[in-house]
Amino acid sequence: MDASTLALSRVHKDWLELFPEEFKTTANLLNNIKDFAPNLEDVFKVFEIPPSSIKVLILGQDPYPTTGDAMGLAFSVKRNEKLPKSLQNIFKELHSDLGLIRTSGELSDWQSQGVFLLNRYLTAPIGHPLGHQKLGWEVLTDKVITHLGKLNVVALLMGKPAEEFAPFFKKVVITPHPSPLSAYRGFFGSKPFSRINDMLEEPIKW
C-alpha cells in the first residue's frame, strides 16, 4: 500500500464522492515528501466525519511542525503531549469565556460533536512552519472550506489568513490568532466559544 492509499483510508466516503479528483491529487503529494507532520495515517483524519455532521469549522494554517505533536486535527495534539502556546491560549480564553478548565489538548471530542478542525495545509516539514504552504494542499482544502459555507456551518476564523474566507459564510466569528504574537491583540476577551454556541441549536460541549 503506497502512502496516498494509506492516507485516504481515513476519509469518509461522502467526502470522496464530493471531491474525488482533489483527494486523488493531494494524496499523491504524500508519495513525494518525507519527514513531515502529522504521521501519514493522520494526514486526512479531519475527514473521518461526513460533511452532513459538521456544525462548526475551526480553520488553522498548518500542523505543528514538531515530531509527535500534530495528530491530524487543527490545533489539537496527541493525548498527554505538552500544550503548544496557541492551544494554551485557546484554553485560557475557553476558561475566561465559559468558565471551563480543559487540560487535554486532544480535541477528538470536539470532532465527534461536529467541530471540523481543518488546517488549510495538511502537512508541514519537521522544523519548518508553513514549509508546505506552496505544496498544493489548497487544491482540496479551499474547495472544502467554500463547500462548508454552503452548509450553514458556523466558522471560527482566527487571524488574517483565515479571515479571507469570511465572505463564504453566513455565520462567522472572527478573532485575532491565538498565537503568543497576537493573542493580546484581541483574541483574549473575544469569547468565541459562547458566540459560536449562540448560533447553534445544540451547543458544543467544549
Domain ranges of the chain: 3-198
Angle between helix 20-29 and helix 138-149 axes, rounded to 10 deg: 140
CATH superfamily of 3-198: Uracil-DNA glycosylase-like domain (3.40.470.10)
Q: What is the pLDDT of residue 2?
A: 86
In DSSP terms, 155 is beta-bridged to 57, 172
62 is catalytic: yes
Tell me the three state secondary structure of residue 125.
strand
Q: What is the pLDDT of residue 79?
A: 87
* DSSP β-ladder status, 171-175 and 36-37: unpaired
Residue 36 burial (C-beta neighbours within 10 Å; 0-12, 13-18, 19+): buried
Q: Which of 42, 62, 69, 97 is an active site residue?
A: 62
Q: What is the pLDDT along the chain (206 residues), one digit of tens a residue?
A: 788 898 999 999 999 999 999 999 999 999 999 999 999 999 999 999 999 999 999 999 999 999 889 999 999 999 888 999 999 999 999 999 999 999 999 999 999 999 999 999 999 999 999 999 999 999 999 999 999 999 999 999 999 999 999 999 999 999 999 999 999 999 999 999 999 999 999 999 99
CA distances from 48 to 20, 114, 166, 190, 198 (A): 15, 11, 24, 30, 26
Q: What is the pLDDT of residue 49?
A: 98
Q: What is the pLDDT of residue 88?
A: 98
